[in-house]
Amino acid sequence: MKVILAESAGFCWGVERAIDIARDFAAQGKRPVYTDGPLIHNSQMMEKIEAEGIREVGDYESSGELEIDESTKSSAVMVVRAHGISPERRKYLKSLGMEFRDATCPDVGFIAGKIHKHASKGYKTILFGDPKHPEVIGLMGYTNDCGYVVKSQKDIDALPPLGDKVCMVSQSTMFTDEFERLGEYLKIKYPNAQVIDTICGATKERQTDVVNLVKQGAQAIVVVGGYHSSNTRKLALLVENHGVPAYHVETADDIDVNALQKYEIVGITAGASTPDFIIESVCNKLGLCRELEK
Ligand code: SF4
pLDDT, one tens digit per residue, over 6-27 is: 999 989 999 999 999 999 999 9
User: Does residue 293 have a pLDDT over 50?
Assistant: no
Which residues lie across from 248 on neighbouring strands? 223
User: Does residue 294 have a pLDDT over 80?
Assistant: no
- Sign of the four-CA dihedral 209, 227, 219, 11: positive
Ligand 1 centre distance from Cα of residue 264 (Å): 33
User: Does residue 215 have a pLDDT over 50?
Assistant: yes
Percent pLDDT > 70 in the chain is 98
Q: Is ligand 1 within 6 A of the CB of residue 272?
A: yes
Atom of ligand 1 nearest to the CA of 13: 7
pLDDT, one tens digit per residue, over 77-128 is: 999 999 999 999 999 999 999 999 999 999 999 999 999 999 999 999 999 9
Q: Is 7 a catalytic residue?
A: no
Which pLDDT value is given to residue 289? 60
Asked if 15 and 275 count as a contact pair (C-beta separation under 8 A), the reply is: no
Which pLDDT value is given to residue 290? 57
pTM over 0.75: yes
Which pLDDT value is given to residue 53? 92
Which pLDDT value is given to residue 74? 85
Residue of 16, 135, 250, 280 marked catalytic:
135
Q: Domains (ranges, CATH) in the chain? A: 2-10+202-285 (3.40.1010.20), 13-106 (3.40.50.11270), 107-195 (3.40.1010.20)
Nearest to residue 168, comparing CAs of 126, 140, 121, 118? 126
pLDDT, one tens digit per residue, over 32-65 is: 999 999 888 888 888 999 999 999 998 888 888 8
Quick one: CA torsion of 94, 88, 68, 47, rounded to 10 degrees? -100
If 0-12 CB within 10 Å is exposed, 13-18 middle and 19+ buried, where does residue 264 land?
A: exposed
Mean pLDDT of 158-164: 95
> Across all residues in the chain, what is the average pLDDT?
93
